[in-house]
Amino acid sequence: MELLSEQGLRLDGRRPEELRKIRCKLGVFEQPDGSAYLEQGNTKVLAAVYGPHQVRGGRVKANADSAIVNCQYSMATFSTGERKRRPRGDRKSQEMTSHLKQALTAAIKTEIYPRSQIDIFLEVLQADGGNYCCCINAATLALIDAGIPINEYVVGCTASLANASVPMLDISHLEETTGGPSLTIVAMPLSKKIVVAEMLERFHVDQLEKILNLALKGCQQIHAVLDAAVRNHMTEIGSASAWGQTFGT
């Protein structure tokens, strides 16, 4: 089974440089301070943000000059074809949690909230490749919904190499598991900074620049989609709460 056909189409009908369809919604829960739901193809992620609130727990010690960012990554037992026994706490989830914390700490302005804590919970409802990137994108939307100041959007995207020569963007689960190398990039598209970079399998270093540029281009496209969703959400919220009358006068 080839990843790319002779006509240049992928298994799901996309061209190599195309993203899957992204759908997202902010404010899906009332109880958290911020929440978001994101679909990227068949991958579905829920994010919830609590905080900033008081640091609790005996072991955790508050920072005197910045907030503590606490992340939890979880995959539902029904999220994969084969049922998962441990939704969280296994080694892969802990690694994902650590990466998420690193990426989100780089974006959040933690110095505004000394000796406090920001909790971010992420739940993968359906996994079809690119789970980590979907979690990053959903967490960014949830943070914006919570009103926590962030430097800019943190956007994640994956890229791969098909037939050892053609870069592909936003790979699905089938393309991930059939042995192709994959590169995961979490970037801030406006300032062009890379926050997290992860690579699986091997490819020649000559191909790295091509794949990296394609991943960054994908990040910019995802940023445009998220930006449009946030503006739509804010227009609705502003109309509902009579923004102009409250703050304009």
List of residues 6+ apart from 22 with CB closer than 8 A: 38, 39, 40, 137, 222, 225, 226
Q: Rule CB under 8 A: which of 66-85 touch another protein?
A: none
Using rule CB under 8 A, residue 230 touches another protein: yes
**Can residue 244 be called a binding residue for another protein (CB under 8 A)?**
yes
Among 13, 81, 147, 179, binds another protein (CB under 8 A): 147
Candidate list 115, 173, 193, 217; residue touching another protein; CB under 8 A:
115
Interface pick for another protein out of 164, 200, 208, 237 (rule CB under 8 A): 237
Nearest distance, CB of residue 184 and another protein, angstroms: 21
State which residue, 113 or 121, has the beta carbon closest to another protein: 113
Structure tokens at 150: 């962030």
Nearer CB in complex with another protein: 77/151: 151
CB 186 within 8 A of CB 135: no
Sole window of 59-67, 68-76, 81-89, 159-167 interacting with another protein (rule: CB under 8 A): 59-67
DSSP 150: B
CA dihedral 30, 33, 38, 44 (to 10 degrees): -70
* Spacing of C-alpha 207 from chain mean position: 25
Amino acid at 99: H
E strand or H helix that includes residue 200: strand 193-200
Two tokens, residue 143:
């943070």
Total number of residues that touch another protein (CB under 8 A): 42
Least separation, in Å, of the C-beta of 125 and another protein?
25
The β-bridge relationship of strands 193-200 and 117-126 is unpaired
Q: Is 7 in the site for another protein (CB under 8 A)?
A: no
In the region spanning residues 157 to 216, those forming contacts with another protein, defined by CB under 8 A, are 188, 190-191
